[in-house]
Each structure stands twice: as structure tokens, then as C-alpha cells.
Amino acid sequence: MPKLRSRVLLEVWQSIEPSPHPDNRVTLSQQRDMFGCPKLEVHWHWPEEDIQQTLRAQTQIADELERSVLGKLQLVHDPDGRPNIVRPVGSHHLMGTTRMHDDPKLGVVDANCRVHGIHNLFVAGSSTFPAGGYANPTLTIVAMALRLGDVLKQEFTAGALSA
């Protein structure tokens, strides 16, 4: 007598890297906080090309699982048929608001995390990344901070950076 295959339910989690998009940004609001400073406004959405790529990947995985008779992938989409990636949650980190670039017109900080045009202002964090990636940014941030520490120590020792 043939053995019956038991049914197993697996959850598939898809993590994608959001593409850089010029409309995704942080701006100053007209609203003020209790100290009179402008509040921040986060403008962020998934670019349409990311949504379409996600749909294609999900469809290809589902088709291949069925074709190989390994299982059936049940896709969970919003009512409009789009993948449920409306906003960054969990592992999605908002990055790129002070992007690193050699050209001040294309980025906020240079390769040493120095804000363009300001000699003693530095930013070392995931905001300098050109894109979000799909993995936790902590180790890269630590590496950047260590590298910046070396730059600051060298400049301070040489007298190039004054307090």
C-alpha cells in the first residue's frame, strides 16, 4: 500500500530591497513641536517597479512549486491584487535620507560621512546608505562608525579638526 503524504503548511516570507526613489524623503513640516522646531514628515511609498517585480517573483515561485508537485503557494494580496507591502514594517529600515555621494548635488555626505560644505558635521548611520537592502544594517553602521572614528582621530591629531 502506498504511503500517504502528510500535509504541511509552511509560511514563506519574502524580503525585498526597496529601490531608491526621489519622492521618498523626509521633509520639514509646517507643524511645530513643543520647542517650536518644525516636525518631520516622512514621505515614503513602494515604487511601482518594486511592486511589479514582487508580483512576478511570487508568481514564478508559485508556478514552479505547482509544476514540480512540491506544493501550492497561497499568495496573500491586498483587495486590489497587489502584494501586501504597503509600508515598511519589521525589517524594513527607512534609509537614504542623508545619502553618501562625492557630488553634493547627489548626496548629503562624502565618503568620510562629512556633510558637504560643513567642515565639522558628520553623519554615520543607515541614512547615508544609497538603498535599504534586505538585511539588518547594524554591522555596516558599526563599521562606518569605526571608520569615521579613525578619520576624526587622524584629523584631530593633525590639527585639521578643531572643536
Catalytic positions, please?
93
**Pick from 93, 103, 83: nearest CA to 135:** 93
**Pick from 15, 10, 140: nearest CA to 90:** 15
What is the spatial distance between Cα 69 and Cα 106, in angstroms, rounded to a whole number? Answer: 49
Q: Using DSSP, state whether 49 is helix, strand or coil.
A: helix
- Cβ partners under 8 Å of residue 11, min gap 6: none
Enter the C-alpha cell of residue 102.
562625492
What is the spatial distance between Cα 113 and Cα 107, in angstroms, rounded to a whole number? Answer: 11
